[in-house]
Structure 1
Amino acid sequence: MIFAVKGRTSLIGASWEEELYKYITGIITNKGQKLLAINGMPDHIHILIGMKPACCLSDLVREVKKASNAFVKEKKFVKYKFEWQEDYGAFSYSHSALYNVIAYIQNQKEHHKKITSKQEYIGFLKKFEVE
């Protein structure tokens, strides 16, 4: 799944992004799902999970966004109002593709030296034939 800071504002700081990722990992684990990779940029994050069939993805995303948003505010990581964008993208991959997807997520900082997050997201939509 991919979701962004509201307005794609670059608010996720390098000094606290790992703490945010650990917090999100805890939410996903507590919901009974398996986190495979998490990483991002100052304006968005990528999360790869092994999702159990009984999981409702929209409920999981809503909980991750709500709880992590409260966490960022509680920790006072940013001076400005922090919110996640309302929408998100979720794409599924076969088991055989997991290694490449994990590597892609782990390499976000390097990847975004060549492509913007908007270009990246449009690429996902085209690849998965979403209008």
Structure 2
Amino acid sequence: MPNTYTQIHIQFVFAVKYRDAIIADLWKERLHQYITGIIQNNGHKLLQINSMPDHIHIFIGMRPDQSISSLVQNVKTESSKWIKEQKFCNSRFAWQEGYGAFSYAKSQVPAVIKYIQNQEQHHKKETFLDEYRKFLSAFDIVWDEQYIFKDLE
């Protein structure tokens, strides 16, 4: 798009289906690399990615020629298919429906990158669900508790 100049920083957060803790340390770096490729092939810039066994954070510089929902759907579909092809899981892998997408100013980028890099330490003190609810509250997003990622029963 000629004469279109943007600076859009978005953090995506979504969970493994049923919040199963199945993203293993053994292959999570390969998953991050694969998702980085998906992001780049869609023309966006990956700023930071990190995952815990049950969820993932992806922070990008986004181009305006693709919708957020289209990109997230592409990332989820292609990465799920790849995980299955690689036979990383004994059970069937899928991402849970839904996602969070949170926008940031340029001045916030370093702090968001650091936050995502430190997920392992962060989740020693706070659960994913508590973290997710804090994101929703901090961004003044009205949500219905029945649609929040649920704890395993």
With normalisation by structure 1, the TM-score equals: 0.99
Look up the match of 2:17.
6
Amino acid at match of 2:37: G
* Bigger radius of gyration among the two: 2
Unaligned runs of 5+ in 1: none
Q: RMSD between aligned alpha carbons? A: 0.5
Look up the match of 1:126.
137
Q: 1:19: Cα distance to partner?
A: 0.3
Q: 1:111: Cα distance to partner?
A: 0.4
Query: 1:64 and 2:75 equivalent?
Result: yes
Look up the match of 1:39.
50
Decide which of 18, 29, 45 is 2:40's aligned counterpart. Answer: 29
Unaligned runs of 5+ in 2: 1-11, 143-153
Q: 1:55: Cα distance to partner?
A: 2.2
Decide which of 73, 84, 88 is 2:99's aligned counterpart. Answer: 88
- Deviation per residue, 1:46-102 (Å, 9 max, x gap): 000000122211100000000000000000001011100110000000000000000
Amino acid at match of 2:76: K
Q: How many residues align?
A: 131
Look up the match of 1:115.
126
Q: 1:40: Cα distance to partner?
A: 1.4
With normalisation by structure 2, the TM-score equals: 0.85
Decide which of 51, 58, 72 is 2:62's aligned counterpart. Answer: 51
In proportion to residue count, which structure has more strand?
Answer: 2
Look up the match of 1:77.
88
Q: Which consecutive segments of 4 or more residues in structure 1 shift more than 3 A? A: none
Aligned-partner Cα distance in 2 for 1:40–1:127: 21
Aligned-partner Cα distance in 2 for 1:81–1:54: 33
Amino acid at match of 2:83: V
Aligned-partner Cα distance in 2 for 1:92–1:75: 32
Aligned-partner Cα distance in 1 for 2:131–2:57: 11
